[in-house]
Amino acid sequence: MSENQIKTDAYREAGVDVEAGYQSVKLMKADVQRTFNDRVLSHLGGFGGLFELPEGYRKPVLVSGTDGVGTKLRLAFMMDRHDTIGLDCVAMCVNDILCQGAQPMFFLDYVACGKNYPEKIATIVKGIAEGCLQGNMALIGGETAEMPDMYSLDEYDLAGFAVGIVEKDEIVTGATISEGDVLIGLPSSGVHSNGFSLVRKVLFKDLSLDVNTYVDDLGMTLGEALLTPTRIYVKALSDLIKPCQIKGMSHITGGGFYENIPRMIPDGLCAKVDTSVIETLPIFNFIQKAGKIAAESMYATFNMGIGLVVAVSAEKADALLAGLTAKGEKPVVLGNIVKGEEKIDLCLSNR
């Protein structure tokens, strides 16, 4: 037995399987390389990811974002399904940097687990790679940390880091939003990646439901509906930001409408939103009815069917709507910007 094998065996006895790590990399290699483009200068397994900045920028600014998927991971554990949770992680990061007007460039991931099961890790990374393709990013690096004393054997945590680029004078901040501007919403695919602590309490703890419970109104099991991956809005919006002169964007994540829309609204202005125009997804109706949750609480927790809100001038609204529709989107005019001290005025529907 070689000295290296002895060292490896000793580490395995301590709970860390180095060979499993090598196998994970081997299994994920093809999926990772699918995301590569001509600007990727590094290779899988290097000490760092190398990415050449695109040419043509006068005053380029890098935009970065990092996030995880919260307790949606619990749903993946409960269903033992790990093929889409990585996509959620990418979406949470890339949608955020998109809101600053950034063109996404590359992504890095971090998986921490109690035990490295190569097939499971590779499946998670396959979802990350798919998210990167949807978000126009290269997956140039990552880390899988096997930490048996930190996590139970079948559990893991997941985080990501996205980087994009934007011209300094084209950064989208919301600062130019003015009275009369129009608010346009892009539909979500479901709960996305926020509010799952409340979901689990209401559906699984209070009502003792199960992920395998089939719900007629949903047309699928509860677990399938809840695990539906978060939408990525890059391909829908990235090439419309400049021509439509988009002034502000809000990714509707934790805190729902009440927390996220005000983040782009300047002082002295208010986003007046009419929720009656939103086609509330069945999953939200089910959660609200099951938990007897007030409408205000729903809109303060969930996206309620709108995953991203855009602010644009009234003169550019039709062009943005047409551009989105041409891409197969179903944009919704949610309201407009008015004067006011409160940054959001949500007209709640009685439906």
Per-residue pLDDT of the chain (351 residues; tens, 9 = 90+): 455 555 567 778 788 889 999 999 999 999 999 999 999 999 888 899 999 999 999 999 999 999 999 999 999 999 999 999 999 999 999 999 999 999 999 999 999 999 999 999 999 999 999 999 999 999 999 999 999 989 999 999 999 999 999 999 999 999 999 999 999 999 999 999 999 999 999 999 999 999 999 999 999 999 999 999 999 999 999 999 999 999 999 999 999 999 999 999 999 999 999 999 999 999 999 999 999 999 999 999 999 999 999 999 999 999 999 999 999 999 999 999 999 989 999 888 654
Place of tokens 């993946």: 76
DSSP designation for 120 = H
Is residue 176 domain-resident?
no
Residue 212's CATH number: 3.90.650.10
Q: Is residue 95 domain-shared with residue 188, that is, in the same domain? A: no
18-37 b/e (C-beta count within 10 Å ≥ 16 → b): eebbebbbebbeebbeebbe
Long-range contacts of 40-48 (CB under 8 A, 24+ apart): 40/106, 40/138, 40/140, 42/140, 42/141, 46/141, 48/141
**Measured between alpha carbons, how far is 82 from 126 in angstroms, rounded to an integer?**
9
Do residue 14 and residue 57 come from a single domain? yes
Q: How many Å from the N-terminal Cα to the C-terminal Cα in the chain? A: 72
Separation between Cα atoms, residue 208 and residue 200, nearest integer Å: 10
Give a yes or no: residue 68 inside a domain: yes
At 76 the three-state DSSP class reads: helix
Last residue of a domain, which of 170, 203, 237?
A: 170
- The answer to whether residue 103 is domain-embedded is yes
| Residues in contact with 231: Cβ distance below 8 Å, sequence separation at least 6, in sequence order | 91, 186, 187, 188, 189, 192, 307
The reply to whether 190 and 330 lie within a common domain is: yes
Instruction: Name the residue among 65, 67, 87 with its Cα closest to residue 76.
Output: 87
Do 62 and 97 lie in a common domain? yes
Is the domain of 244 the same as that of 141?
Answer: no
Residues 201 and 158 in one domain: no
Instruction: Check whether residue 34 and residue 166 sit in a common domain.
Output: yes
Residue 163 and residue 270 in one domain: no
User: Which H or E run includes 92?
Assistant: helix 85-98
Task: Give, in order, the Cα–Cα distances in Å from 75 to each of 71, 200, 211, 253, 311.
Answer: 8, 9, 8, 18, 34
Question: Which domain-ending residue is among 114, 139, 170?
Answer: 170
Residue 164 sits in the same domain as residue 191: no
Within a domain: 177: no
How far is the CA of 76 from the CAs of 79, 145, 219, in angstroms? 5, 19, 20
| Within-domain flag for 203 | yes
- CATH number of the domain to which 156 belongs: 3.30.1330.10
The structural domain count of the chain equals 2
Q: Write the CB contacts of 255 (distance below 8 Å, at least 6 apart in sequence).
A: 194, 300, 301
User: Domain range spanning residue 288?
Assistant: 182-347
Q: Are residues 194 and 135 in the same domain?
A: no
- Residue 175 maps to a domain: no
pLDDT tens digits, 70-80 = 999 999 999 99
Q: Confirm whether 69 is domain-assigned.
A: yes
Instruction: Confirm whether 19 is domain-assigned.
Output: yes
| Residue that finishes a domain, picked among 170, 193, 226 | 170
144 shares a domain with 71: yes
CA dihedral 79, 84, 85, 87 (to 10 degrees): -170
190 and 164 within one domain = no
